Structure 1
Amino acid sequence: MSYLLFPGRHLVNTTFQEQYLQRVLSQPPAALPGFLPGSDATEKPPVEILFAITSANQENSRYNPIPFHIRAVGVDRFARQLPAAATFRHRIFGIPHYGHTRNFAAFTIKEIAHQSERTILLTPANCLVLCSTPEVIKLYQELGFPIAPAELAETEMRPATPIEIIREIGAQKDWRSGDLVKTQLAASHGSLFEDFPEVPKRIARLYQDPLTNQEGSLTATRNYSSYARGMNEIIRLKYLDIRHTLKPGRIVDEGCADGALLAEISQDFPDADLFGIDLSAEFAGRFQERQRAGEFSGAYVHFFHRNLLDSLFEEESIDTTICNSTLHELWSYASQEKTVRAYLAEKFRQLRPGGRLIIRDVLGPEDGDATVDLWCSPDDGENPAPAELASRKERDQEWLQRLSTRARFHLFARDFLPANRSFSFAETEEAGRPVFRLTLRQAAEFLSKKDYTDNWKSEMNEEFCFWSFSQWKNTLVETGFQVLENVNDPASGSRAYANPWIIQNRYEDRVSISTTEGTKLPWPPTNMVLVAEKPLG
């Protein structure tokens, strides 16, 4: 048995691949342009094509905009329409996403062996690999496999690659109008997109989304495992913070991450329709795993892998919208005030009269522009020389945790919003000890982030303290909401507070804030809950 292994994401197939495969199936491998021999002689053309669809468990990102089942249908159509002189078989295997690893080729071969019940054991003696990606070619060569380099060997007029066709589709209003689609998309995939019209629409949406990156997330520096773990450890407390404010019916969690909050809500609202929205491809997979495991108590739950700025719901169709730690991300990664105001207006539109918008997030102090003195302990860790801090590029967790609070401040001042503005401060003394003179808003930003050692780089891109509690309330009122407060029972309505656990475990004996005259100031608020209602009538 002689195999042709064709690994790749297989987002689309091309007319060049169609023509090239005809040659591969009818000629000795050595006759192919640019053929790279392996450790064993390969004299006869293959008789079976193994399509290895990589990153099969990923979708809804620019890197992988098409779900595996659609890709598999497309590959099957492509193979069945191949006009080959010789008879051949084909099989399709889904290969999980392994990230960037030097073991990619070996993992693919092992995966095919296990998925085929070990009826297909690929070796350099029985398998030719079709691949045009230099980095992947090298991995298979290291294992001794011969290579048919496809597009890579076409030096005079290089054909379009599948991802180039995908990018063209992503830039078009009508996917059929692009030159590459007209001339180089295989007929099998033209018919595929006609039969599944949502696929080219999804490609265009993902490529035209101003917030998402290549992997389908806000930021490439976030460790999603530690981020989710940290959020989920306190999700019950966060839910109890807002439970009494929810209205039953259709409930949306915007920026739902892996669905942990909706899982809590489903316990108390089993008859509600629950909707989760998140931009992250990683969280999309984790949410779906919760759903598979039955963690939503039998409630109806639907996940939208979308940008929060998209308009997803009809006017006056939602009873409760929850924004849990999401609005500061919209401010930070989009157009700041313009984006947040537009977002709040869209939430007002989608809520029914009497419906509620629940915001639980970080915030800034009321007198944010006031000049204050911030003392940071130099005795709770290491204090590298400024030159060492300036020259170090890595921000690994173990190193960050060894730094004193004072050293972390110096690092924070270098790293915080580097592309937007400088973080200016002065060093002086207060009561015989060194302090940093800066605004109260700057001090609050540092306090809010100094302990994020597991996601330092990601958090440095996010601004927490842009609006005070009163500014948030004013903005909601200007949008049309009524802000619900209860002076007799503050915990039952909108409120801002300093989290006692954070004060005790992260602030005390490590930092303090005082006026420039030396009077100690209270801690700035760390969190807020805003309960905004759309008026009746």
Structure 2
Amino acid sequence: MVSRSAMTYLLLPGRHHLLTRFQADYLGRLAGDDTTVVWAVTSANHGNTRRNPVPYHRREAAIERFSLLVGLRSVVVPIFDTAPTDRFAEVTLKSIAVATGLDLTPADTVVACSTPEVAALYAELGFRIAEVEADPANDVKAERPWDVLLRLAAGDETWRDLAHPATLDVFERYQLTETVRAVVNDPVVGDEGGLTATRDYRTYIEAFAAGAARKWDLVRPYVRPGRIVDIGCGAGAVLELADREPALRESDLIGVEIARHLYEECVHKKAQGVFANPNVYFYRRNVLGGAVFPPRSVDTTLTFALTHEIWSYGERWESLRRFVQAIYDQTVPGGVWINSDVCGPDGRDRRVLLTLDDSDGVNPPTARRDLGQLPAAEAGEYVAGLSTRARLDQFAVDFAFPLAYEPTGEAVTIGLGDAMEFLTHKDYPHNWLSEREEQFCGLEFADWKALLTDVGFDLDPASYAWRNDWIIDNRVAPVASVTHADGRPLDWPATHVLLIARRPRNT
């Protein structure tokens, strides 16, 4: 353990999701009566992600209680997440100076850190390092706080013996134990709180905003006033339009979003006064984790371009049926679920001939098998340079679902569903590594009808499968043609579905 001499400040950089009894003993011995402990809470703007399951304000509450119980004079400073940088230590010190006016220097500050890579950054600046759990002078081998949190996530109750009472108290009062377990063990959500690590959320937000008016016009006639929930609300563009409807002035408008980037944009919009209705709320939830709302409490549920993601990132039929059942359970008798999404063509397994343009880009002799190891932008640039025909070969390699075809002269013989799968994916090269994980044509209209009625919904006659002619005319037909296997002409099939599912009033 380092000496207390010339130590006015003790800096602890870290995420601090959990505090331990060992930390209390170690810091109590290290910090003098005149020492101020500076807790630099990194990733303070993140919460409800696998890497950062506890929000900053709960971490701060536990640190303050910990300091009181241990007898430490503490200052807690939020440090917003930054891109990986070798100047992390300098950025943290500057953030502390801006937030508190404290100019921490090697002359008056010791850095307490057990992570070698982080400690090295401070050592390079001349700071003395107290190694905490890694300190060779420790009488016992101590577990790092994150390892204790992983015990919690794994259901190992011995975490309670290692965690400090301040953490136990805050976790109990705010019911954080189950939240942490759910977030850390989530099989779908990535470390930073999104479905994929490669999605370009800026273009995603722009695309949803551009299509919001069309989506709202499509569903508005079927919306029932009351509690209206948009699951997978993106950046809240559709709820903005619902907010302007005089007939919905007395309704609650609730957005549910899983992706951290999109949820934060929703909260920012509300803070900026975008919504006139005071009863607008946003929740960050993973709908695959179970029910979001109490039974029979929602009048209208909206989902746009969501159900194919549940199918793709979950366990196909099992996940989708659980989701549909959860929607049914939360819907009031007489309430409605309106679902707009992509859809597979009727008879998606029938074989067709697909002819693709090979003159609109390069045609490598073979498809690459390493795109998943490249940065998303680099992979997207490569795919963007391929011809439509070459993109099919690349798509067959990268797509997360089986896709087979056989060359047949200048065309390929392929299932109609697989053909439409490729044709509706091919124009997203810059989100290629994200979009390859999603199956658009997993279900056709008949599958939806059977699923909804099996759960208990009545399917409104206004429900239908439809073809997006703009996509066909502008993206598909100019570079592709399709015929029956024997060469007879074949119309382009449906690409989307609108489902108006009502819970019967007598249920």
- Say whether the 8 Å CA contact 2:346–2:445 is kept in structure 1: yes
Aligned position for 1:452: 428
Q: Structure 2 counterpart of 1:56, which letter? A: A
Correspondence 1:408 to 2:391? yes
Query: What's 2:57 paired with?
Result: 69
2:369 and 2:398 in contact (8 A); partners too: no
Give the counterpart letter for 2:9 in structure 1. Answer: Y
What is the DSSP-based 3-state SS (H/G/I as helix, E as strand, rest coil) of the residue aligned with 1:201? helix
Offset at 1:157? 4.4
Taking only aligned residues, the RMSD between alpha carbons, in angstroms, comes to 2.2
Q: Give the equivalent residue in structure 2 for 1:39.
A: none
Establish whether residue 136 from structure 1 lines up as the match of residue 118 from structure 2: yes
Partner-residue secondary structure (3-state), 1:455: helix
Give the CA deviation at 1:391.
Answer: 5.0
Residue 11 of structure 2 aligns to a residue whose secondary structure is: strand
Most deviating of 198-207 and 376-385: 198-207
- Deviating more after overlay: 49-58 vs 138-147: 138-147
Any gaps of 5 or more consecutive residues in structure 2? 1-6
Aligned residues: 492
Moved more, 230-239 or 200-209: 200-209
Given the superposition, is the C-alpha separation of residues 287 and 386 from structure 1 closer, same or farther in structure 2, using an over 3 Å criterion?
same
The answer to whether the aligner puts 1:192 opposite 2:170 as a matched pair is yes
Write the distance in 2 (CA, Å) between the matches of 1:347 and 1:178. 33
Deviation at residue 46 of structure 1 after TM alignment: 7.7
Alignment of 1:48-63 (within 5 A): 48-63=36-51
Aligned to 1:31: none
8 A contact 1:271–1:299 mirrored in 2: no
| Other-structure match for 2:243 | 266
Segment of structure 1 superposing worse, 150-159 or 436-445: 150-159
Q: CA deviation at 1:93?
A: 0.6
Alignment partners' CA distance in 2, 1:413 and 1:180: 46
- In the TM superposition, what whole-angstrom CA distance separates every residue of 1:457-509 from its partner, at most 9, and x where no partner exists? 11111111111112212322222222222xxxxxxx22222212212221122
Identical pairs, percent: 35
Indicate the residue corresponding to 1:98 in structure 2. 82
How many angstroms apart in 2 are the aligned matches of 1:262 and 1:476? 25
Q: 1:101 to 1:264 in 2, by over 3 A?
A: farther
Conserved 8 A contact 2:208-2:234: no
How big is the shift at 1:359?
0.6
Distance 2:29 2:447 in 1: 68
Contact 1:226 1:454 in 2 (8 A): no
Using structure 2 for the length normalisation, give the TM-score: 0.91
Distance 1:66 1:13 in 2: 12
Q: AA paired with 1:451?
A: D
2:295 is aligned, of 284, 298, 315, to 315
Aligned counterpart, 1:34 = none
| Equivalent runs, 1:341-490 vs 2, <5 Å | 341-386=321-366, 389-390=368-369, 392=371, 393-394=373-374, 396=378, 397-417=380-400, 422-429=402-409, 434-485=410-461
The 3-state SS of whatever aligns with 1:454 is: helix
Number of the residue aligned with 1:528: 497
Indicate conservation of the 8 Å contact 1:512/1:520, yes or no.
no
2:304 to 297, 300, 324: 324
Q: Is the 8 A contact 1:374 1:443 kept in 2?
A: yes
Question: Structure 1 residues 51, 355: CA separation in 2 closer, same or farther (over 3 Å shift)?
Answer: same
Give how far 1:59 is off: 1.0
Q: 2:27 aligns to what? A: 21
2:87, 2:463 → 1: CA distance?
A: 53
Q: Residue 110 of structure 1: CA displacement?
A: 1.3
Paired AA for residue 254 in structure 1: I
Take 1:512 and 1:380, find their aligned partners in 2: how far apart are those partners? 15
For the pair 1:296 / 2:275, whether they are aligned, the reply is yes
Contact 2:77 2:96 in 1 (8 A): yes
2:204 aligned to 216, 227, 252, which one?
227
1:159 aligns with 2:145: no
Question: Distance in 2 between the 1:266 and 1:500 partners?
Answer: 30
Partner letter of residue 455 of structure 2? T
Partner of 1:250: 227
For 2:456, give the aligned amino acid. G
Q: Tell me, what secondary structure is at the counterpart of 2:229?
A: strand
What corresponds to 1:30 in structure 2? Answer: none
- Counterpart residue identity of residue 76, structure 1: E
Moved more, 438-447 or 153-162: 153-162
Question: Do residues 179 (structure 1) and 138 (structure 2) align?
Answer: no
Q: 1:523 to 1:299 in 2, by over 3 A?
A: farther
Amino acid at match of 1:24: L
Please report how far the alpha carbon of residue 94 of structure 1 lies from its aligned counterpart in structure 2 after TM superposition: 0.7
Aligned to 2:69: 81
Give the TM-score normalised by the residue count of structure 1: 0.86
SS in 2 for 1:241: helix
- The alpha-carbon deviation at position 121 of structure 1 amounts to 1.9
Task: Summarize deviations over 1:35-69 as a string: whole Å, max 9, x none.
Answer: xxxxxxxxxx9822211111111111232222211
The answer as to whether partners of 1:227 and 1:455 remain within 8 angstroms in 2 is no
Q: Is the 2:343–2:494 contact (alpha carbons within 8 Å) kept by the matching residues of 1?
A: yes
**CA distance in 2 between partners of 1:92 and 1:213 (Å):** 28
Q: CA contact under 8 A between 1:482 and 1:533: conserved in structure 2? A: yes
Q: 1:219–1:156: structure 2 CA closer, same or farther, 3 Å change rule?
A: farther
The 3-state SS of whatever aligns with 1:234 is helix
Whole-angstrom distance in 1 between the partners of 2:89 and 2:444: 53
